[in-house]
Amino acid sequence: MSVARTFAGALVGLFLIAGTTDRAAAEANYPTRPITLIVPFAAGGPTDIVARTISQHMAGTLGQPVVIENIAGTGGTIATIRAKRSTPDGYTIIIGHLGTHAAAVAVYPNLAYDPSSDFEPIGMVAGTPVLILARKDFPANDLVAFASYVKANRARMAHAGMGSVSYSFCIFLNHLIGATPEFTAFNGTGPAMKALLAGQVDYMCDQIVTAVPQVKATAIKAYAIGTTERSPALPDVPTSEEAGLPQFRGSAWNALFAPKGTPKPIVEQLNSALSKALDDDRTRKELVALGSVLPEGDARSPRALADLVKREIARWSGILQPLAR
Ligand code: MLT
């Protein structure tokens, strides 16, 4: 072997060692600057509220600001693509949900990401039951009357883009009750809720987090919640079974993900900061008051989240793909 080749080989070796040492140092010191938490919907919606609530406590644990960046559009998929393409160094993470990380697979045939292989699951943040809601003066006082009204009349249904939670649950609802509404898309259910409050749309299927204050203030109607038990946050709202539509069953969820390739120690650090936030009295109280169901024990692990994503992709593909045909 020539001296030149031996020298070049040694130089490459040195660069590799230096690269590995730099990476190890970056992981050991993480985080040294603010972390961006992408919210794939408009401000004021359930994803945004849940993200802002946990990020405050996580920032304290991590010793760096956790900066929320709302990137809305196309049912949350634009932001999720952005998160997938971010540098996997722990400084950009996303709060995904049942829509972005499961239902979107069923409604976008050319989705530019695979929720189960393009991300490192960090952990589940909260289960968020879904309610069937209508504007305050909608001419139906219970779910049976609502179903027969929207079947007979072309009502205006709000949603947060194809594949979002509000879209997926209401597509399922429309199928169950035989409704063919006029669809109005928003960048999130924050703005959709404003339109519902203003009477510009008739109904939507939204996560409990944004519904609680409005239902309590009787500013909107809530016909049913899609869980087997009533929510302690809204004890007067019947379950879908009690209201006469037991097939409308399911709950949404929100969870943190990092781009694929984010080092395991960093994912573990983020998971631990999330878990501490979920154990914090004030954070818990705020989330529970809004009807969130907090994960406990193993349900907080990255593995449990990876399994949930796989199960939900299968479930929502089974529900939505036949309806899209
Ligand atoms: C939001 O935060 O606006 C909602 O999660 C959107 C949705 O998926 O319905």
Mean pLDDT of 17-35: 80
Per-residue burial over 68-107, b if 16 or more Cβ lie within 10 Å, else e, is: eebbbbbbbbbbbbbbbebebbbbbbbbbbbbbbbbbbbb
pLDDT for 273: 98
Mean pLDDT of 286-293: 98
Is pLDDT at 302 greater than 70 in this prediction? yes
Cα of 212 from ligand 1 centre, angstroms = 15
**Residue of 207, 209, 316 to test ligand 1 pocket, by largest number of atoms within 8 Å of CB:** 207
Q: How confident is the model at residue 3 (pLDDT cuts 50, 70, 90)?
A: low
The Cα 59–Cα 274 span in angstroms is: 10
The Cα 143–Cα 322 span in angstroms is: 25
Mean pLDDT of 172-192: 97
pLDDT for 159: 98
Cα of 243 from ligand 1 centre, angstroms = 24
What is the tens place of the pLDDT at every residue in 135-171? 999 999 999 999 999 999 999 999 999 999 999 999 9
Q: How confident is the model at residue 6 (pLDDT cuts 50, 70, 90)?
A: low
Q: Which of 163, 137, 125, 138 is nearest to 46 (CA)?
A: 125
**Residue of 41, 159, 193 to test ligand 1 pocket, by largest number of atoms within 8 Å of CB:** 41
pLDDT for 12: 57
Mean pLDDT of 261-282: 98
Cα of 163 from ligand 1 centre, angstroms = 10
| Ligand 1 surroundings by CB, under 6 angstroms | 41, 45-48, 97, 99, 160, 164-166, 188-190, 207
- In this chain, the answer to whether the domains covering 32-127+252-320 and 129-243 adopt an identical fold is yes
What is the tens place of the pLDDT at every residue in 197-245? 999 999 999 999 999 999 999 999 999 999 999 999 999 999 999 999 9
**Phi and psi of 268, rounded to 5°?**
-65, -40
Class of domain 129-243: alpha beta
Is pLDDT at 174 greater than 60 in this prediction? yes
Is pLDDT at 63 greater than 80 in this prediction? yes
pLDDT for 24: 75
The third-level CATH classification (topology) of the domain covering 32-127+252-320 is D-Maltodextrin-Binding Protein; domain 2 (3.40.190)
Per-residue burial over 211-250, b if 16 or more Cβ lie within 10 Å, else e, is: bbebbeeeebbbbbbbbeebbebbeebbbbbebebeebeb
Ligand 1 atom closest to Cα of residue 165: 8
Ligand 1 atom closest to Cα of residue 187: 3
Enclosing H/E stretch for 182:
strand 182-185
Average pLDDT, the chain: 94
Residue whose CA is closest, atom 5 of ligand 1? 47
Mean pLDDT of 86-111: 97
Mean pLDDT of 241-270: 97
Cα of 167 from ligand 1 centre, angstroms = 9
**Phi and psi of 255, rounded to 5°?**
-150, 160
**Residue of 38, 77, 166 to test ligand 1 pocket, by largest number of atoms within 8 Å of CB:** 166
pLDDT for 27: 83
Q: Where are the domains of the chain?
A: 32-127+252-320, 129-243
Contact present, 209 and 218 (Cβ < 8 Å):
no
Cα of 311 from ligand 1 centre, angstroms = 20
